[in-house]
Amino acid sequence: MKEECMIARRTLTLLLPIEFLLYCCPFIVVETCLSKASTPDDSPAFAKFKRNMMPKVGQKITVVGILKQGKQGFWLAFNGWGAYIYAADESGSAKQNKLNIQFREGQTVKVTGTLRYFPPEPSARNDVQNAPEHFFFDAAEVKMSRWSPPSQK
């Protein structure tokens, strides 16, 4: 019996830090999520990108960048920041799904489409998270192709 108690106490001592972390981590994560999230306008890189891209909003442009998975669809990294590629409405979902099948994260692609801008939404509540300010291309109208640098002669 005494040996069983020693084993139980040793097991409890080993598990206690793990249980503590399992108990506390969800609260730490929730607190972090509810605190003010970092916004793109906090970044000097975004400020520079925004200055360069705002005059191009509403225009059809072509850019070359690297695809990454984003929260809303693909993220196209270019010119020191980037833009999302996602379906702006339900009608573009099929095209977005097709792009997701044809292209993969890490590929360098050429994208042609109308650059759009999603302004920051002021929120009166701290417990509600809004989509951050961002640039995007509507997947319904975008043309995307794999790109490789021209060969040097």
Q: 7 and 66: one domain? A: no
Q: 82 and 26: one domain? A: no
Is pTM beyond 0.85? Reply is no
Q: 100 and 53: one domain? A: yes
Q: 123 and 103: one domain? A: yes
Instruction: Output the pLDDT for position 70.
Output: 85
Q: 127 and 70: one domain? A: yes
Residue 65: inside a domain? yes
Residue 44: inside a domain? yes
**For the chain, what is the domain count?**
2
Q: What is the mean pLDDT of residues 3-7?
A: 54
Q: 90 and 117: one domain? A: yes
Flag whether pLDDT at 6 surpasses 80: no
Residue 135: inside a domain? yes
First to last CA, the chain: 83
C-alpha angle 42/87/65, rounded to 5°? 60
Helix residue ranges, H only, 35-43 = none
Q: 22 and 94: one domain? A: no
Amino acid identity, position 101: I
Q: 69 and 7: one domain? A: no
24: containing domain? 1-35
**pLDDT (tens digit, 9 = 90+) per residue, 108-118?**
999 999 999 99
**pLDDT (tens digit, 9 = 90+) per residue, 18-39?**
444 444 444 333 333 333 344 5
Q: 132 and 69: one domain? A: yes
Beta-sheet pairing, 143-146 with 74-77: unpaired
What are the contacts of 5-14 at 24+ separation with CB within 8 A?
none
Residue 43's CB is within 10 A of a number of other CB atoms, namely 14
Q: Residue holding tokens 């994560």?
A: 29
